[in-house]
Structure 1
């Protein structure tokens, strides 16, 4: 146990610590909020050159559905990230803040005509309140030769609401925000005791990380308020209702940096989604969106000393940033505590 003197010293050093969070997407914002929980009296600053609707997180459908291939450094750590993230969002959903944060519960199907592995998920089957095989009758509800299916209840987090909600909470609690484009860690080395790197694809350049790969995605946001159930089909086809619009997708262009809307991708998405749900033919398109998923395997959450600057990395979530951000944020905060504790003992 800590002595009274040690505990008081620990609290004093905690209040004096200066922490910078690089990046203002869903990973950066959740990390900043978790740091505020741990260090309520510390000086905390989010540094980014893109905020809110400028971030990759803004276009995400936000459904809580990690791929079975999603991975951290170990199986146990990956599962902990997923579990922590689910309960983080579930706590918000059950709170009075749910509508402001954009967190809702939703049920739906994942269907396949090819392989039963597509509809299975070892992360979700024991975590979610409902996760079961679809019946033959349910498989026949949608056009197509569906042979395998799973029905489950999960969460959707609308980042167009969650990001401004999170930023407001951060600033209301005394957090600072700085608009700055970083070219190296030297740009912040004198300003903070510890920096948490949540730059997503930007970390590829800041860290010279050749394991970081963009995976281009394109989606359509459509007005289809009658769609209440999410659906996944083969070939990366998905329909995910949201609070303000439904998201239709999608595509996965590995190692593509093209941020232009591709009319052929739009046509393909519409063809596949309307084949699955014909009523979508009457849905009006609100916007077309392209983003680059910051993919790394494994996702990097680790501490490093860079030319005397203490850095905790938290990036590489790919298309599962919303799904896994709170869990990796909690892990990153633990690493910050360890680095700070080691520093305090010097």
Structure 2
């Protein structure tokens, strides 16, 4: 592929938000994008990467609704037969059961959406309403490496780096972290997609960020072809998510400010117990019936933020220069909705970047 040349853009972070943003900017043209990150999708699994499917969680948040709808449109096309990303997704029937009539998300934009009559879910005693639709289930261990390969394939660059302060990048560019440090090549823009890392990243240090710990269990259950969720008033769910290849994710937990990095055995039992009738349909199934199906137990930190997603830009002075300034775009704080808002957020980040570059800095800052 012919190498693209243009404005030098650096992105900090290689999660789903960082990679989709990197692709969006790189594929626009006129940009040369480099991603700096400590961890990449091809590394061993860790708590920085979580799992997901596209089921809207937006209630009265109009911005999140728009981000989710744009992302679903992009991902639905990616999941089509013959697309290069087809194997990362599974289109599957999904039923959402609600125990409250208030505060539920609007899923009417989902493919094949239908509200169920009460007679259709009498077997779910807690439910007061239910909807069914076609969900897009994401095999994240496949999808994230796909995004990385797509970014590299369109001319993007990656460097493994521990960025301690954004001024390291603003002043030194990517060469400050490269093996051949020949002097800092100026950059034209910086995009922060550091997720929970933005809490401690120098120059950002956003204390509104906090972890929401999620624990799940991965099962081998190829006979499960439909997804189900029971949504309680706190927004947490008991869910069953089938994926390509016959695996099923069951979960889960939503524990704010819980930093424990490995699965808790007692939580695994709590997760499996309500899922037994759906995963194993023999008479009076128990947790013990599911244990032979377990492939692994998972744990991840959702990068939540008080005030919601931070999507904004500002001009920041380059250290050692009185008048040289660089636009910095912030795109983080997606909580448990990173995958389902990723492409929409990337579009906003690109617009913010191009708007800032077009307008130039306010030198009175």
Please state which band the TM-score falls in when normalised by the shorter chain.
0.7 to 0.9
d(CA) in 1 for partners of 2:89, 2:191: 25
Q: Which residue of 2 aligns with 1:253?
A: 255
Give, in angstroms, the shift of residue 97 of structure 1: 2.5
Does the residue aligned with 2:131 lie in a helix, a strand or coil? strand
On the 8 A contact 1:143/1:276 being kept in 2, the answer is no
d(CA) in 1 for partners of 2:137, 2:32: 32
Q: 1:305 aligns with which of 309, 315, 318?
A: 315
Does the residue aligned with 1:311 lie in a helix, a strand or coil? strand
d(CA) in 1 for partners of 2:49, 2:141: 6
Change (3 A) 1:193 1:29: same
d(CA) in 1 for partners of 2:328, 2:60: 24
Does the residue aligned with 1:298 lie in a helix, a strand or coil? coil
1:47 aligned to 2:20? no
Does the residue aligned with 1:160 lie in a helix, a strand or coil? helix
TM-score by length of 2: 0.81
d(CA) in 1 for partners of 2:47, 2:91: 23
Q: Which residue of 1 aligns with 2:113?
A: 131
Where does structure 1 differ by over 6 angstroms across 4 or more consecutive aligned residues?
A: none
Which residues of 2 match residues 1-346 of structure 1 at below 5 A?
15-39=5-29, 41-52=30-41, 53-54=44-45, 58-60=49-51, 62-69=52-59, 71=61, 75=62, 77-94=63-80, 96-97=82-83, 99=85, 102-112=88-98, 114-117=99-102, 120-122=104-106, 124-125=107-108, 127-140=109-122, 142=123, 144-189=125-170, 190-191=172-173, 192-206=187-201, 207-235=204-232, 236-244=237-245, 245-279=247-281, 281-282=289-290, 284-296=293-305, 297-307=307-317, 308-343=325-360
Question: Which segment is superposed worse, 90-99 or 267-276?
Answer: 90-99
Does the residue aligned with 1:304 lie in a helix, a strand or coil? strand
Q: Which residue of 1 aligns with 2:177?
A: none
Deviations 1:104-152 (A, max 9, x none): 312111113x31236x422x21x11222222345314x56454321111
d(CA) in 2 for partners of 1:70, 1:165: 33
Does the residue aligned with 2:229 lie in a helix, a strand or coil? strand
Change (3 A) 1:101 1:166: farther
More helix by share: 1
Does the residue aligned with 1:59 lie in a helix, a strand or coil? coil
- Listed as ranges, the gaps of 5+ residues in structure 2 are 174-186, 318-324
CA RMSD of aligned residues (A): 2.4
Give, in angstroms, the shift of residue 330 of structure 1: 0.4
On the 8 A contact 1:194/1:311 being kept in 2, the answer is yes
Give, in angstroms, the shift of residue 278 of structure 1: 3.8
Give, in angstroms, the shift of residue 55 of structure 1: 5.7
Give, in angstroms, the shift of residue 98 of structure 1: 5.1
d(CA) in 1 for partners of 2:252, 2:361: 48
d(CA) in 1 for partners of 2:64, 2:36: 27
